[in-house]
Every structure is written in structure tokens, then in C-alpha cells.
Structure 1
């Protein structure tokens, strides 16, 4: 089986997010095996950031002092010393103890791993990027947002990334930068109410929005 070549956009996504995002999440967003993500990262000389290694996804302790304040110090006698069964070592106790990393009930039934994709209630493809606590946190991120930020960086305040008119898709391979645009929330609101106007007015509004974006780009680079 011939390995699919990496596109420029995929490489930009990898460079943008590899340092701080779990490899499984990147692999799901790109539709590639995680082994290819790690292999390409090595070839590009990419590495995880210090903040990633200090975070929960690395599986490492933040430093050598984590939990020091709650440890028994030399000379302290535990309250349960000499009391059979109080330490939870009895076989009957062990049978009902939670194992490390174990979930139960609804949490176990509903859990999906990092890198899983799903459809949002609005019909957008999302990828799970973390298992952080406490809830709620942004565990799921729209794939088109990930693709846009890899190409252009963080989304400006008061703006959103959306599909260009008529180019929306939920197929992972088809979510590419050329299908996307970053517009203000005000423009997005006007766009979503265009169906209330006659076609002639809609054309004028769209043309004006395009002109305003071009003017803003020119002024930004002056």
C-alpha cells in the first residue's frame, strides 16, 4: 500500500500543534495513523513543549515536589498502624477497590479516547483534544478551526472561522484552508439573515462585505 504524501497544509498543522497537542488528536484531525504523525515530527525535528511535559497528557509529574506536603515525614506514626484491615489490604477490600485509571458507570460507557472525531449538533466535524478536568473544558474542537489556525494562527477576537458559502463539508479530507474564511461575528450574523432579503439586495451585501475585508487587509499591511 502506497503511503499518502504529506501536503503543505498537513505539515503546517503538524508544526502548529505538535508541541502542545497530543499526537492522537493531531492524527485524528489529519486522518492519519499516529505512527505517521510521530515519524513526520521526527523528520521535521519537532518536539513537545515543556508545558506539554508538565501537563496531564505526558504522564509525567510536574516536578519532584508534587505531593510532598501530604506525605508522611520520618518519625510520624500512621493512625492505622497495627489495625488489621484498616489499610484496605484485606482481600475483601481489594475486590471492591477502584484500580488506577478505572472508570465506572456512565463515565466508562460514554468515554472515547483523545483523537476521536464526532459530529456536533450543528453538523460540524469535531476532534477530541484532551481529557482535562474539571468539566466543562474545551475537549472538542472543530476540525475546520484546527486547519485554519495551523495556516493563519489564532483567530482574532470578535471573529469566527467558517466555510465559504456553498463549500461546507463534514468529510475530513475535504476540510482544507481554501474552503474556509475568517469573518467578524457581525458579518456572520448578517450572512445568516440574508435569506430574508431579495436576491438583488443579497448580492449587494455580499459584495460590500468582500470589499470591506479587502480594505481591512490593505490597511493592516500599511
Structure 2
């Protein structure tokens, strides 16, 4: 990968003069430089767009305005690995505002979740939020129930043997490539 050529002094002076009142796309054409390079130099020199330029663009969100796509508290999201999430607060921080629904249900019916414990589903269905379907488990218990440990001993043995054979084949292939 080639490193970009450094900015010359005359280019930096042109950028300092033009940055406040031109779009990044215009600056790319004027200086014949990629946009990330221009933004990097602008940041290094503390350059900002002028208020006039920002008003002309007309796409700025005012300080206290909220975007139209903000979800209200209580909204439900069906993402993040097939788990349901519920919006429980409105701080603007996604990690704090959205909670896993099964954890919210557990805390509502049974109280706080002890440190080191996870809420798991008895029937394995993460959409079944019935309180009777929720149980507390340690991470070790969850790990023991998943992966190779969830198979009968004979099948687990075959999976291990397959892993050993795959490793041997890869080692032989690498030695032949050298």
C-alpha cells in the first residue's frame, strides 16, 4: 500500500483558506487529494466549516433537536443474535438505553440478577419471555450445555477425531507447499 504524499505548504495554505466555505467534494477537486487526507489535515489544524456554509447546506440538526427516527421508551427491537431488546431509557447511549427483554422480565418478577449469573431460557426459545421459561445459570453451566458437550458421548468423540484429522491434513498441506 502506497503512503500518500505529504501536503506541501502551499496546499495547506489553500486548504486553510478554502476549508470554511467549501464542501469536502469541492476540496477534493481543488487539491486533487482524497477526502480522508483533507479531513485529517483539517483536524490537525483545527479547521471548521463557517456558520454561513453550514446554514447553506441546511442539513444540520439543532442542538436540542432529536432525529425523527428516534424510538420512544418501550420500543422493541428484534435483532442482536435473535434476542429481543427493549428501550428502557433515553440517554442517547445505545448500550444503556436498550436492554435485553429477558433480563427486564427477570428483574421485574424476581429482582436483580446476581453478579456472574446469566438469564437463560428453559425451552431454548429466546422469544418465549414467560417468567416460568427463564432461569439463572452461571456461564460455566451455559457452556457445558452448548457446543460439543451437548452431543452424546459417541458423537462428541467423532467430532474430536474429525478435528484431529483436519489438523493433520492442514499440516501436511502446509509442508507440501514449502
TM-score, with length taken from structure 1: 0.38
**Structure number with larger C-alpha Rg:** 2
More helix by share: 2
Higher relative contact order (CA 8 A, sep 6+): 1
Question: What is the TM-score normalised by the length of structure 2?
Answer: 0.46
